[in-house]
Amino acid sequence: MAPGARRPVAHGRAAGLRIRALLTALLAAASAAAADEPAPLGACGPIARRYDVVEVAGAHFRGLGGTALERIGLVAFRNGGAAPIPFQIDERRGRKIALDQGKEPTQDDKPGVLDAEDLVVFLPCDAGERAAEGAAPDGAREIRLEDPLTHAVGFVYLLADEHPVGSDRRYVRYDAATDFVATARYRIGMVNALPNYFALVAPNGTVGPDLIDGLRLRAEARLKADLAHWTLNEQQGEHELIAWKAGPVRVIRRSRHQVVVGLGIHLTAGLANTFFYPHHVYGPGSLKLPFSPGILFREIRAYGAIDGRDLRGWRYLAPGTPAGGFAIDGHMDAGERAFTSSGDWFVLSHGEDAILFVTRMSENLRDGITLRLLYRDDAARPNPPERVPGTVPLAGYEGTGVEKLPGGRYTFALHIFTLEHYHHGDERTVLAQLDTPLAVSVDGERDVNARAAHGVDPAAAP
């Protein structure tokens, strides 16, 4: 963690010893992570996608149902030789991933064995070439990947054996005691189940400074006839980690979030699942409204954003910004004050480092609310509650018209990609990959529908 990182201040109540203790624990976790470094992803094989992950349901491996999970291995061929690759099997009960750790764990109905619902999870970057005639192990199942954008083809082989050779590489490490995720590219720490620390890691392993002052979740709601008016922030909520699972390819966290605004009204986002991968973070979500909020509320507006921890020298790029984006310097110029955009992505860049944020929503949610990009670069304008006064910058999304949504189910997702060797325009490749999933087949079977951690996935909901 960055030297001199300041603790958050608990506005409206006594400064919390609990918060200080948690931040101290994050420091300890960062030091521990340095002693047990996760493996870097390395060079990709034929499929040059560093931000995808392939999930193949057990139903596609015919004849392997009931196989003990420890008997399963994955190998890839490169330069004529086979080597095991990192993978994990995430057990599911129906469409819900079983997270067996935490205060509220969930268990599979057939634990410890591969069943039709379980997911074999690996990174397409680790795929290799097709095995030569007779080179694949007896009984191995061939998983074929094709990139529709480049037409590149890669292969991975799944086998069942009494003692399969496994890879000792772990791309992601998790310390549940401090709610701290480490990869060879980034570090993320959570306090009260919300992000409170984020740092990039250089290729030589040097951990950079803490880049965020915190996550800002703010809302304003007015009851009809102006009977009541609330302004809400992230610290007024009840947020807690309740379950998790850590594998070599990804960490999955489940957290509960709720806000009580008074008059017996509870605003809740329910349960959130967050997926952490070597180079990106994926947060799908869903919202179920039993009736339209407009029955009670005249207006609801909200925003979610990252408050940068003095990112002077960085740049902000998004749809509608000038060529080269805005220079982050703690002062709003005329162009920044006039900026308005309804785009769904933005980039924070510094030299060859960049962080790409992308939000995607289901069609019914896009049609129901107005979403615009939020950008503020003003060191002199406090935005309490915060640890460091000012927004340098505040970058995220603001939604209006929430009260107009009809009752129903809505889905959305946030993607955060940590880009390396960045040049302006590189985000277009990642966005194209996000919208164009890989084609996957098993033993020649088409339409496997293995997904690449992209889009809105209701199956990821608890």
Q: What are the boundaries of each domain within the chain?
A: 54-169+438-460, 194-425
Please tell me what DSSP assigns to residue 387.
S
- pLDDT band for position 296 (cuts 50, 70, 90): confident
Whether the bond between 385 and the residue before it is cis, its omega within 30 degrees of 0, is yes
User: Exposed, middle or buried by CB within 10 Å (0-12, 13-18, 19+), for 384?
Assistant: exposed
Neighbours of 455 (CB within 10 A): 16
Per-residue burial over 116-137, b = 16 or more CB atoms within 10 Å of its CB, e = otherwise: ebbbbbbbbbbbbeebeeeebb
Read off the pLDDT of residues 31-77 as tens digits, 9 standing for 90 and up: 444 447 899 999 999 999 999 999 999 999 999 999 999 999 999 99
Tokens of 352: 């060859």
Read off the pLDDT of residues 343-378 as tens digits, 9 standing for 90 and up: 999 999 999 999 999 999 999 999 999 999 999 999
Nearest to 440 by CA among 429, 430, 454: 454
- pLDDT band for position 164 (cuts 50, 70, 90): very high
Return the pLDDT at 221. Answer: 87
Task: Please state, rounded to an integer, the average pLDDT across all residues of the chain.
Answer: 88
Nearest to 397 by CA among 352, 451, 440, 341: 341
- pLDDT band for position 271 (cuts 50, 70, 90): confident
* Residues 324, 235 contacting (CB under 8 angstroms): no
Euclidean distance between CA atoms 338 and 359, whole angstroms? 22
Tokens of 35: 């002693």
Read off the pLDDT of residues 109-147 as tens digits, 9 standing for 90 and up: 999 999 999 999 999 999 999 999 989 988 999 999 999
Q: Above pLDDT 70, what percent of the chain?
A: 86
Euclidean distance between CA atoms 328 and 350, whole angstroms? 10
Return the pLDDT at 448. Answer: 62
The CATH classification of domain 194-425, taken from the options 2.70.98, 1.10.1740, 3.30.479, 2.40.420: 2.70.98
Tokens of 112: 């410890």
- CA distances (Å), 293 to each of 31, 264, 271, 398, 407, in order? 46, 15, 20, 18, 8
